[in-house]
Amino acid sequence: MSPWVLRGLRNGVVTTRWPARPDPYASGWRGPATVLDPAAGEGADGLEGLCPTGAISTQPDGAGPDGAERDGTQPDGAERDGAERDGAERDGAERDGAERADRGRVRLDQGKCILCGRCVGARPDVFGWSTGPGAAALTRGGLVVPEIPGTAENLAAIRDGLRARTAALQRSVHLRHVDAGSDGAEEQEIYALLGPVYDVHRLGIFFTASPRHADVLLVTGAGARGMIAPLRRTFDGMPDPKIVIAVGTDAVSGGLVSPSYATTGGVSDTVGVDVWLPGSPPSPFSILHALLLALGRLPTVQQTAVQQTAVRQAAERQTAERRTQRRDQGEGQ
């Protein structure tokens, strides 16, 4: 039985107010693996071999894990983001220098993480789980932890460029979804957005069947070669300004099965991606986060800090209440 049914029966209130109000459930979602201590793995052999998708690297080379390098090789998206990429290239020499100093430390590309848990199980001192909905990034390199030097500097320019493009999409936004070789997991989470719990309509966000009416393209799947032409046609049929969100690890990097004879290794080989959302699958909260990030509608950093404090306090209150209940029950027996 879905946990949401039990939650609805217990609480009587089902629609989340996130991100306008904190939601402890949003903060409790498990995201892709992350690096707890990059230096803890220094000198340790076999860390890279832990990961079935090659997300873990101990010797950063060039622009970090190879998926991150594809930022500069996208069609359309690359053209749209030309100015930002120039900035990234200018910073390349400095970044290379910093990475040479960083050599030997552990890096993890969340864009390739399928949440299998092998790294966390084998080396809990080095790896852990990220939590909360904020998994999406505006650059492919932004999914690498710890952050590649130079990423933060370019982010502001990219965010400004995206905000300028999406300025017209403030009140009502229409989404078109294309499955480019998905296993169906991401679709379940996307459909959940339409249910009473997330109710994406409350944010003025709607799904449409026609690319002509769509502002945002949600793409799932590892980039099946048979879907290259349909995906391209959908993208070309959308009016400007249009935003592309790669939903899920498969769409970001191809996941376990890419590249292969049947898949291209992520959807960025076919359409330019504006927002990268890892997760296998990402939670509905994370998809909401990616949408609001793309539309420039996320609360400010200050508000977010206040929310996080409120969420932590609410979680602590719930834990204390549960502990009291358990103690009372124990005394009653």
Residues in touch with ligand SF4 (CB under 6 A): 33, 50-51, 53, 55-56, 108, 113-119
Residues 6 or more apart from 158 whose CB is under 8 A from it?
81, 84, 138, 139
User: Around Cβ 110, how many Cβ atoms within 10 Å?
Assistant: 28
Cα(201)–Cα(172) distance, rounded to whole angstroms? 9
> Distances in Å between the alpha carbon of 44 and those of 48, 104, 106, 141, 331?
10, 9, 10, 25, 49
Between 115 and 228, whose beta carbon lies closer to ligand SF4?
115
Tokens of 145: 């932890």
Between 95 and 107, whose beta carbon lies closer to ligand SF4?
107
User: Helix axis angle, 284-294 relative to 185-192, nearest 10°?
Assistant: 70
Between 55 and 243, whose beta carbon lies closer to ligand SF4?
55
Cα(256)–Cα(24) distance, rounded to whole angstroms? 31
Least distance to ligand SF4, CB of residue 184, Å = 19
CA nearest to 244, candidates 280, 261, 269: 269
Between 55 and 200, whose beta carbon lies closer to ligand SF4?
55
Least distance to ligand SF4, CB of residue 217, Å = 26
Between 56 and 290, whose beta carbon lies closer to ligand SF4?
56
Least distance to ligand SF4, CB of residue 55, Å = 4
**Contact assessment for residue 110 and residue 55, using Cβ atoms and an 8 Å cutoff:** yes
Least distance to ligand SF4, CB of residue 311, Å = 24
Between 216 and 246, whose beta carbon lies closer to ligand SF4?
246
Least distance to ligand SF4, CB of residue 34, Å = 9
Least distance to ligand SF4, CB of residue 129, Å = 8
